[in-house]
Structure 1
């Protein structure tokens, strides 16, 4: 099931274009949950307006004078929402996706500048009370890094450090984004223009493991000085991608692997042919012989469970010996699994003897998201989203860099004079001759 969440600081729900734009967002992106910030409407009026929107459930927070107003809207046929706690600037819920086992904590927050420290304290308390997968959707009104701001005063180091401390305490991370760099603008002339990235999604590693393909997209900004931000939990597939060959160091633990290498060198001559044959043979060997180590792990544990149940009823030497053999095999597979995740995560340190594969798995997912190019801007400033077009743009860029417009110039003859140093025939013979035993000694 496609599952999308959108957050949008709409800057007022009483504007004539508000309901039209919400319906357009729903039509284009089909969100199961929509979080609206700074609606500036509360109470019965908020329930009346949200009742006309294409969602059948809602949570509203109270406004503070003519400011605030946080709404969370959802469709109950797609997600089940359990409200935990609400304040004027935050909503804490548990989300369960229908027809699946997915369940996680979801927090929506939009604090006022003067009360950010209250939200940070509350988030720290929430982090101490649970260990669930967690999504934080927020407009912190505070850039985290210098790169998150254009124009105006520099980012406050003191406030950004408090912001970062809160994220670290909550074990939150940014999974990146595609689309325009900034989510808010003051809409001034270029001399006074200020832009910031302040509308964001953060997730913890447990949630990242639950939805490894999730991505964030900054949508087109209109009808507000903030752009809507889309979180796609399960992005639509764009077709199967050809997998590149990758050497796995855990192959070296298998005694039959050196034979694959030696055969590639014995049957071919040029290096290019060796590489081609080795990659082909190694891929086939991995598929037929080495196999999926995660499936092996699961299979061995299932066999061990069956043996241990049988031993508890009727012990025998055969079963006990088989159990010991399987335990040794399991230990080897765990080392292979640890080696695999260590290599994929590219982590240069580890706790000696601890098989913390969950940590390496999360590190791998974070690195992949940081390295993944979801969109790229062309020379005209237009965004390219299709994978084939992104590849073509990068390839053309390299061609432009390494293609010269200069014509080649023939090399001139080496210049020599009669004063140039030269060797006698005897000296040439001594240099080009073999090494004598006396010289070696």
Structure 2
């Protein structure tokens, strides 16, 4: 099962829904946490109804800021809403999957330090109320150590210590990551560029015992100044499944494609057999003619992301 947390910087962007669909198609998440949606109420419901999830929790925005959505596929997970604290914008749910139950707290920490401090205090109170496996996920708006930031002012020792103290009281562990080093950028030129690792997944030891192979990946940043962060409970390769045949529109632009279609339909077979033949021959033709375009895409995106770190 996979989880994705992403600060989208506004769900009204024209590219938002397309990017969510890309994340779903590429990573098949059972739960998606969307932060800083900047919309709530009826408008939020209209958008979430067009997304491929049947479970939804939304918190209201504060004016035109904030906003948090948690979306999930109820065929794969059972989610029970426990609490929402609107002021700091965080929601805690109980997740049941594969006969395991654990807590998931979705976080959008305010850019204002005073409000973040209130959130840290509230999280420590939540920790006192249960001893279940627990995940904290979202935008914490606070780098913890110096290597979590590039450019700008140095990491505030006092503010990072407050977050560290909260994480210690909650018995939280950083799983590390693969992918780009930073999850947020101010998009400036090199002289004024600032980048930070502030979007994270933290887990407690009892959750680690349930999913010892869990892995966190920083995905390619697109459509927002934050990159999506992926948590894989069982990393790719554990549950391999054969992908169904999918017709690719770009095939129509190739002059040799009509021959593939003609060969499949010229063998004097019935409709079902002709379709099977076409799928097999088109798959072989695509592999030999174009190669693995998805592998090529991953290589290009890896080069865009720069050096990866574990």
With normalisation by structure 2, the TM-score equals 0.76
Q: After superposition, where does 1:243-392 map in structure 2 within 5 Å?
A: none
Aligned to 1:202: 202
1:107 maps to which of 105, 114, 127: 105
What SS class does the counterpart of residue 96 from structure 2 fall into?
A: strand
Q: 1:223 to 1:380 in 2, by over 3 A?
A: closer
Instruction: State the 1:380 CA deviation.
Output: 10
What SS class does the counterpart of residue 67 from structure 1 fall into?
A: coil
Q: Give the distance between the partners of 1:380 and 1:129, measured in 2 at CA.
A: 44
Instruction: State the 1:236 CA deviation.
Output: 2.5
Q: After superposition, where does 1:29-48 map in structure 2 within 5 Å?
A: 29-48=27-46
Aligned to 1:226: 226
Q: Give the distance between the partners of 2:146 and 2:191, measured in 1 at CA.
A: 19
Structure 2 alignment gaps of length 5 or more: 240-301
Which is richer in helix? Answer: 1
Aligned to 1:144: 144
What SS class does the counterpart of residue 147 from structure 2 fall into?
A: helix
Does residue 4 in structure 1 map to residue 21 in structure 2?
Answer: no
Instruction: State the 1:87 CA deviation.
Output: 1.7
Q: After superposition, where does 1:71-86 map in structure 2 within 5 Å?
A: 71-86=69-84
Q: After superposition, where does 1:148-159 map in structure 2 within 5 Å?
A: 148-159=148-159
Aligned to 1:237: 237
What SS class does the counterpart of residue 171 from structure 1 fall into?
A: coil
Aligned to 1:183: 183
Q: Give the distance between the partners of 2:50 and 2:238, measured in 1 at CA.
A: 35
Q: Give the distance between the partners of 1:10 and 1:381, measured in 2 at CA.
A: 18
Aligned to 2:18: 20
What SS class does the counterpart of residue 78 from structure 2 fall into?
A: strand
Aligned to 1:87: 85
Q: Give the distance between the partners of 2:46 and 2:131, measured in 1 at CA.
A: 36
Aligned to 2:256: none
Q: Give the distance between the partners of 1:121 and 1:95, measured in 2 at CA.
A: 23
Q: 1:156 to 1:28 in 2, by over 3 A?
A: same
Aligned to 1:167: 167
CA contact (8 A) 2:179 2:305 kept: no
Which is richer in strand? Answer: 2
Aligned to 2:215: 215
What SS class does the counterpart of residue 103 from structure 1 fall into?
A: strand
Q: 1:101 to 1:30 in 2, by over 3 A?
A: same
Q: Give the distance between the partners of 2:200 and 2:38, measured in 1 at CA.
A: 20
Aligned to 1:350: none
Instruction: State the 1:45 CA deviation.
Output: 0.6
Q: Give the distance between the partners of 1:28 and 1:229, measured in 2 at CA.
A: 13
Aligned to 2:65: 67
What SS class does the counterpart of residue 55 from structure 1 fall into?
A: coil
Moved over 2 A (4+): 236-239, 378-385
CA RMSD of aligned residues (A): 2.1
What SS class does the counterpart of residue 63 from structure 1 fall into?
A: coil
Aligned to 1:337: none
With normalisation by structure 1, the TM-score equals 0.54
Instruction: State the 1:134 CA deviation.
Output: 0.2
**Per-residue CA shift, 1:186-244, capped at 9, x if unaligned?**
000000000000000000000001000000000000100000000000112379xxxxx
Structure 1 alignment gaps of length 5 or more: 240-377, 391-441
Q: Give the distance between the partners of 1:61 and 1:111, measured in 2 at CA.
A: 13
Number of residues paired by the alignment? 245
Aligned to 1:270: none
Higher relative contact order structure (alpha carbons within 8 Å, sequence separation ≥ 6): 2
Larger CA Rg, structure 1 vs 2 = 1
Aligned to 2:269: none
CA contact (8 A) 2:124 2:170 kept: yes
Q: Give the distance between the partners of 1:95 and 1:226, measured in 2 at CA.
A: 26
Instruction: State the 1:111 CA deviation.
Output: 1.8
What SS class does the counterpart of residue 174 from structure 2 fall into?
A: coil
Does residue 120 in structure 1 map to residue 114 in structure 2?
Answer: no
